[in-house]
């Protein structure tokens, strides 16, 4: 790949990454959350239920940090704790989908509509290529984060 093509791609990627961070910070502020709480809530919402330990493994957060996260989200009624009968020390986190959607859906509906409109300018093959890039880049970033978290 030519050097200038790769450099242009890197610059566009950096700009996309920065814009994504700024957008998610704005969404979090609008929702009354910190940026990290907003992003971790997004991870929790992908599950019907999840343990505090699983959140720790997925995010790299310490168990103490996960406890603080759950405390803040529970206070806003976005999640609830449920203790298992077998082991009262094991905490299951249940997302409150209704409250979370009330909070986040208005912002994301507009973003999703604009994204669909943008993607309509691309061919199916181009969209599949973009999707492939995102999936493979995500795997590389996860691998890098795992490596850095082990140090």
- Give the pLDDT band (50/70/90) at residue 132: very high
Average pLDDT over residues 123-151: 92
Whole-model pTM: value is: 0.80
Mind listing the pLDDT tens digit for each residue in 1-52? 678 999 999 999 999 999 999 999 999 998 899 999 999 999 999 999 999 9
Q: Would you say residue 129 lies in a domain?
A: no
CATH number of 91's domain: 1.10.10.10
* Structural domain includes residue 31: yes
Beta bridge partners of 51: 92
Assigned domain for 144 exists: no
Q: Is position 84 within any domain?
A: yes
HEC profile for the chain?
CCHHHHHHHHHHHHHHHHHHHHHHHHHHHHHCCCHHHHHHHHHHCCCCCEEHHHHHHHHCCCHHHHHHHHHHHHHCCCEEEEECCCCCCCEEEEECHHHHHHHHHHHHHHHHHHHHHHHCCCCHHHHHHHHHHHHHHHHHHHHHHHHHHHC
Identify whether 128 is part of a domain. Answer: no
85 vs 116, higher pLDDT: 116
Q: The tokens 């859906």 sit on which residue?
A: 105
Domain holding 40, by residue range, is 3-96
Per the structure, the count of domains in the chain is: 1
What's residue 63's pLDDT? 87
Give the C-alpha separation, 41 to 43, whole Å.
5
Q: Tell me if 108 is assigned to some domain.
A: no
pLDDT, tens digit, 9 for 90 and up, residues 55-109: 998 888 898 999 999 999 999 999 999 988 787 777 899 999 999 999 998 888 9
Give the pLDDT confidence score for residue 83 in this predicted structure: 84
* Residue 77: inside a domain: yes
pLDDT, residue 1, reads 65
- Whether 146 maps to a domain, the answer reads no
**CB within 8 Å of 50: residues ≥ 6 apart:** 44, 92, 93
């Amino acid at each position: 790949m030519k050097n200038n093509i790769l450099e242009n791609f890197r610059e566009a990627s950096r700009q996309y990454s920065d814009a994504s961070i700024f957008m998610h910070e704005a969404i979090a502020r609008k929702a009354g959350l910190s940026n990290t709480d907003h992003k971790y809530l997004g991870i929790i919402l992908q599950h019907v239920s999840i343990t505090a330990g699983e959140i720790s493994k997925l995010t790299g957060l310490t168990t103490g940090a996960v406890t603080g996260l759950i405390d803040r989200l529970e206070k806003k009624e976005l999640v609830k704790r449920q203790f298992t009968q077998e082991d009262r020390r094991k905490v299951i986190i249940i997302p409150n989908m209704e409250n979370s959607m009330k909070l986040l859906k208005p912002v994301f509906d507009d973003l999703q509509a604009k994204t669909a409109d943008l993607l309509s300018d691309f061919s199916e093959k181009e969209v599949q290529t973009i999707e492939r890039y995102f999936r493979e880049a995500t795997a590389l970033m996860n691998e890098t984060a795992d490596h850095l978290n082990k140090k």
